[in-house]
Amino acid sequence: MAVLYGIASCDTCRKARKSLENSGLGVEFRDVRAAPLSGDEIARFLAEFGGSLLNTRSTTWRGLSESERGGAPETLIAAHPTLMKRPVIEGPGGLTLGWDKAAQAAHLG
Is 10 catalytic? The answer is: yes
Question: Would you say 53 and 97 are in contact if contact means Cβ atoms under 8 Å apart?
Answer: yes
For residue 4, the surrounding DSSP H or E stretch is strand 2-6
> Measuring CA to CA, how many Å separate 11 from each of 14, 91, 97?
5, 20, 15
Question: Would you say 7 and 59 are in contact if contact means Cβ atoms under 8 Å apart?
Answer: no
Residue of 4, 7, 10, 42 with catalytic role: 10
Catalytic residues: 10
